[in-house]
A and B are shown apart, each in its own frame.
Chain A
Amino acid sequence: GEDVEQSLFLSVREGDSSVINCTYTDSSSTYLYWYKQEPGAGLQLLTYIFSNMDMKQDQRLTVLLNKKDKHLSLRIADTQTGDSAIYFCAESKEGYQKVTFGTGTKLQVIP
């Protein structure tokens, strides 16, 4: 079955770049996502990437996909205290509505 793994915790200083990593096992994954969860709230989609892409950039966010190694990363440039949250990696397949989530990485930004 599908499995998505992430490290549990990351701490960075304000202004530095953050890199959150994720590995997945299902080679047929079509979509890979990053969701953000702020305290006491539900998950919000940050960005997603198609499996035929290597990179996607959206303002301060850069997503890198290494399909050969089944590795996905999220880079946040100029990390701010408002970026403190839990970040979830997720994957799904085309035509298959179930989305599998990782355990989440808690990002702590130190002022």
Chain B
Amino acid sequence: DAGITQSPRYKITETGRQVTLMCHQTWSHSYMFWYRQDLGHGLRLIYYSAAADITDKGEVPDGYVVSRSKTENFPLTLESATRSQTSVYFCATGTGGANVLTFGAGSRLTVL
């Protein structure tokens, strides 16, 4: 099906473990984004990518790593998970002159 697929939808891990959240889009949109959603903070941008092999930091990049070797995939890796990274993570793509974003369904991550 066309759209954005995030996986896994739910993940429980332990402090110090590496976790990768996957994001796949079928539209070939140039821009892709990772946001985290936390109560009281709304959505905060972690990283974004303008095209394959081009990534840049957002508002809260510490503790996260991204890559984009193919246009359609934009994985987000937590190299050593911390409890403060417990959150809901949303991947989004952007296209068009009005910077409209299309979001995936989200990945809920719990770090114990």
**Which A residues contact B (CB, under 8 angstroms)?**
4, 6, 8, 31, 33, 35, 40-45, 48, 50, 88, 92, 94, 96-104
Interface of B: prevailing SS? strand
A/B pair count, beta carbons within 8 Å: 60
Residue B84, interface by CB 8 Å:
no
Contact with A along B40-71 (1 / 0, CB 8 A): 11111100101000000010000000000000
Residues of B within 8 A of A88 (CB): 42-43
Cβ 8 A contact of B94, one of A4, A43, A97, A100: A97
B48 and A45 form a contact (CB under 8 A)? no
Give the complex CA separation of A35 and B99 in angstroms.
13
For chain B, the count of residues having a C-beta within 8 Å of the partner chain is 26
